[in-house]
């Protein structure tokens, strides 16, 4: 035992000299609260996101779009959304910037108004005999002008999804045969450039990969079409210092299909997008159970790791995005995917995907359906809007390896802090009964091993974290943002931040998201069914310098 304490003392001395810090020892508290440790390896990042990692979608669905007897889209379409709504504008501006992906199922039957085009420019009409259940719709250039003026005013970063079925013949088995006809898309791109509109990326098609949704295109043909789109972009944007990204295929991840596409477009495909609807249909009555089940949440790691490995092994320079993610398909589920409980799924997705080097994550949707960040009729922010905004403001680009020990009910993710010193830690408590006290450590594995051995011989838990000396005098504090549901109701559409209701004021202003300040030696208290962001400036991780 004596030698153990001598070795422990030596480690403390080396650690003190190396980091010029004070090691703080805390004791476990009784009752239902449990003290756990989160280990953050700050030596090097395990992934790196875009600055505008948080993205949201705008879709084409008309008011007639109904699922399971509920029509949840109202006037949230790109063709009829009220662009003069104050809350909508301020909600986008709050991100400064917010990346918007324009697209969805109906994008592959949208034509773009152009001179000489014989077809009338009309909106979508329901027709059960047609693919996707609608007749072809049209984007008037007057509406495209309105949209781009709105995007410029709000500072949005825009990705536009192009019609990839144009010119193809769709057989009875759903296979789409023939090359993509790019004429209409090229007309839209030229119009956009001539008007001086800025587009961050042009994405080809929606959910036509693998077995497809409604229709499918072979990977070989899709690769040829992506190359055609890249050639068009290079031609039209010749002389531009920065050209838009070429993005595809915006579908469910099919490893074999994706591998062929990536291998055949090594210099043409800038971004590989895939969609996440891992919770199943919106009608599923077990959605909440799935959201609160750590094992179920972990299931999607196969998709993230599969795509990451493909990008590493194929030698491509392409990066990975989640191009659309609503969790539950067919418009989500009212009072589930638009309530507090969905932030458990959503923030876990943001944390998990970024750990697998995903650069951008686009939430379906900004507005529309039952999974909008904003309420479809009132435009008021749903809980996930505030979760997204906090992530955007607090979580920096560099992702840190994070390990939580003790319970599977805590999900932990850490990044270098955004535009400030230190790190930001996200903790999600899926346990509805237990408050978890969390202590952060960045100590070497060897020291942790010694502590683990010591703990076996002691009845109390001991945790260690390094705190710079100036913090002990009150010079540095830790910022905490505790998110809970109003009245403890997981299906509430009202979120509390540090006990205060989050809502816009009479002018439509997004509320300030103010933290509470805590001494860094105190453990982080994560209440049952709650979410905590904490910015810790006292942790000087080498990865963040």
Q: Say what the pLDDT of residue 34 is.
A: 62
User: Annotated catalytic, 207?
Assistant: yes
pLDDT in tens, 346-370: 999 999 999 999 999 999 999 999 9
Q: Is 494 helix (H, G, I), strand (E, B) or coil?
A: coil
Give the DSSP H/E element, type plus range, for residue 506: none
Average pLDDT in the 313-325 region?
97
User: Annotated catalytic, 289?
Assistant: no
Q: Say what the pLDDT of residue 476 is.
A: 87
pLDDT in tens, 46-99: 999 999 999 999 999 999 999 999 999 999 999 999 999 999 999 999 999 999
* 448 or 25: which leads in pLDDT: 448
Residue 423 class from Cβ within 10 Å (0-12 exposed, 13-18 middle, 19+ buried)?
buried
Q: Evaluate if residue 336 carries a pLDDT over 80.
A: yes
Is residue 510 within 8 Å of 94, Cβ to Cβ?
Answer: yes
Residue 507 class from Cβ within 10 Å (0-12 exposed, 13-18 middle, 19+ buried)?
exposed
Q: Cα(57)–Cα(103) distance, rounded to whole angstroms?
A: 7
Q: Evaluate if residue 383 carries a pLDDT over 90.
A: yes
Residues forming beta bridges with residue 169, ordered by sequence position: 177
Is residue 200 within 8 Å of 157, Cβ to Cβ?
Answer: yes
SS (H, E, C) 327-349: CEECCCCCCCCCCCCHHHHHHHH
Nearest alpha carbon to residue 502 among 387, 330, 332: 387
Q: Say what the pLDDT of residue 448 is.
A: 42
Q: Evaluate if residue 523 carries a pLDDT over 90.
A: yes
Active-site residue among 113, 186, 203, 207?
A: 207
* 451 or 545: which leads in pLDDT: 545
Residue 32 class from Cβ within 10 Å (0-12 exposed, 13-18 middle, 19+ buried)?
exposed
Average pLDDT in the 401-428 region?
96
Q: Cα(166)–Cα(109) distance, rounded to whole angstroms?
A: 7
Peptide bond into 486 cis (omega under 30): no
Question: In Å, what is the CA distance from 170 to each residue of 112, 131, 185, 215, 300?
Answer: 20, 9, 19, 7, 31
Is residue 355 within 8 Å of 399, Cβ to Cβ?
Answer: yes
For residue 196 the two structure tokens come to 């001086």
Is residue 342 within 8 Å of 388, Cβ to Cβ?
Answer: no
* Block residue for tokens 């980091």: 19
Query: What length is written for the chain?
Result: 545
Look up the pTM and report it. 0.91
pLDDT in tens, 462-486: 232 333 434 433 468 999 999 999 9
Q: Cα(291)–Cα(462) distance, rounded to whole angstroms?
A: 32
* 460 or 328: which leads in pLDDT: 328
For residue 383 the two structure tokens come to 């809980």
Nearest alpha carbon to residue 251 among 323, 167, 330, 304: 323
Q: Say what the pLDDT of residue 457 is.
A: 36
pLDDT in tens, 200-241: 999 999 999 999 999 999 999 999 999 999 999 999 999 999
Q: Say what the pLDDT of residue 405 is.
A: 85
Active-site residue among 113, 324, 443, 479?
A: 324
Helices (H), 141-272: 141-154, 183-194, 219-236, 255-264
Average pLDDT in the 401-415 region?
95
Phi, then psi, of 29 in degrees rounded to 5: -105, 155
For residue 455 the two structure tokens come to 């703990």
pLDDT in tens, 250-283: 999 999 999 999 999 999 999 999 999 999 999 9
The chain-wide mean pLDDT, for the chain, equals 90
pLDDT in tens, 116-143: 877 789 999 999 999 999 999 999 999 9
Q: Cα(256)–Cα(262) distance, rounded to whole angstroms?
A: 10
Give the DSSP H/E element, type plus range, for residue 55: strand 54-58
Q: Is 221 helix (H, G, I), strand (E, B) or coil?
A: helix
pLDDT band, very low/low/confident/very high, at 490 (cuts 50, 70, 90): very high
Q: Is 175 helix (H, G, I), strand (E, B) or coil?
A: strand
Nearest alpha carbon to residue 341 among 501, 503, 481, 493: 493
Give the other-Cβ count within 10 Å of 509's Cβ.
12
pLDDT band, very low/low/confident/very high, at 444 (cuts 50, 70, 90): low
Assigned architecture for domain 49-398 = Alpha-Beta Barrel (3.20)
Using only C-alpha atoms, the chain has a radius of gyration, in whole angstroms, of 25
């Amino acid at each position: 035992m004596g030698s153990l304490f001598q070795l422990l003392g030596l480690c403390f001395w080396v650690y003190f000299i190396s980091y010029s810090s004070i090691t703080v020892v805390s004791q476990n508290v009784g009752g239902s609260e449990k003290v756990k440790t989160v280990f953050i390896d700050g030596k090097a990042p395990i992934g790196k996101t875009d600055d505008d990692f948080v993205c949201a979608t705008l879709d084409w669905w008309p008011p007639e779009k109904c699922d399971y007897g509920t029509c949840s889209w109202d006037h949230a379409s790109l063709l009829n959304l009220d662009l003069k709504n104050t809350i909508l504008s301020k909600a986008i501006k709050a991100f400064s910037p917010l990346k918007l992906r324009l697209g969805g199922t109906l994008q592959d039957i949208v034509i773009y108004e152009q001179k000489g085009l014989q077809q009338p420019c009309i909106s979508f009409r329901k027709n059960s005999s047609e693919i996707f259940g609608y007749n072809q719709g049209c984007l008037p250039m007057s509406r495209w002008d309105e949209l781009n003026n709105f995007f410029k005013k709000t500072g949005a970063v825009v990705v536009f999804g192009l019609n990839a079925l144009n010119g193809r013949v769709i057989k009875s088995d759903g296979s789409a045969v023939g090359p993509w006809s790019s004429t209409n898309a090229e007309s839209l791109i030229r119009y956009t450039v001539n008007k001086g509109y800025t587009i961050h990326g042009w994405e080809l098609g929606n959910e036509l990969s693998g077995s497809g949704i409604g229709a499918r295109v072979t990977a070989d043909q899709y690769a040829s079409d992506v190359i055609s789109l890249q050639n068009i972009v290079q031609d039209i944007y010749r002389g531009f210092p920065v050209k838009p990204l070429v993005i595809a295929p915006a579908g469910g991840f099919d490893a074999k299909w994706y591998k062929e596409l990536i291998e055949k477009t090594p210099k043409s495909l800038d971004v590989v997008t895939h969609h996440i609807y891992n919770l199943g249909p919106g009608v599923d009555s077990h959605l909440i159970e799935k959201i609160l089940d750590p094992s179920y949440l972990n299931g999607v790691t196969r998709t993230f790791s599969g795509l990451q490995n493909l990008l590493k092994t194929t030698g491509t320079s392409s990066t990975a995005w989640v191009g659309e993610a609503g969790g539950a398909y067919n418009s989500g589920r009212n009072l589930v995917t638009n309530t507090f409980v969905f932030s458990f799924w959503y923030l876990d997705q943001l944390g998990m995907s970024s750990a697998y080097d995903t650069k951008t994550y686009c939430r379906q949707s900004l507005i529309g359906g039952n999974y909008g960040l904003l309420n479809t009729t009132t435009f008021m922010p749903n809980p996930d809007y505030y979760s997204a905004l906090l992530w955007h403001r607090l979580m920096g680009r560099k992702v840190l390896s994070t390990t939580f020990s003790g319970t599977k009910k805590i999900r932990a993710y850490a990044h270098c802090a955004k535009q400030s010193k230190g790190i930001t830690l996200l903790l999600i408590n899926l346990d509805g009964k237990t408050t978890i006290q969390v202590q952060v450590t960045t100590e070497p594995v060897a020291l942790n091993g010694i502590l683990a051995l010591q703990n076996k011989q002691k009845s109390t838990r001991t945790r260690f974290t390094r705190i710079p000396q100036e913090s002990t005098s009150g010079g540095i504090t830790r910022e905490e943002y505790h998110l809970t549901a109003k009245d403890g109701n997981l299906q509430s559409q009202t979120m509390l931040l540090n006990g205060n209701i989050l809502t816009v004021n009479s002018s439509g202003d997004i509320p300030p998201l103010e933290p509470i300040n805590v001494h860094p030696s105190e453990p982080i208290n994560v209440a049952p069914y709650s979410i905590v962001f904490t910015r810790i400036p006292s942790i000087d991780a080498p990865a963040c310098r």
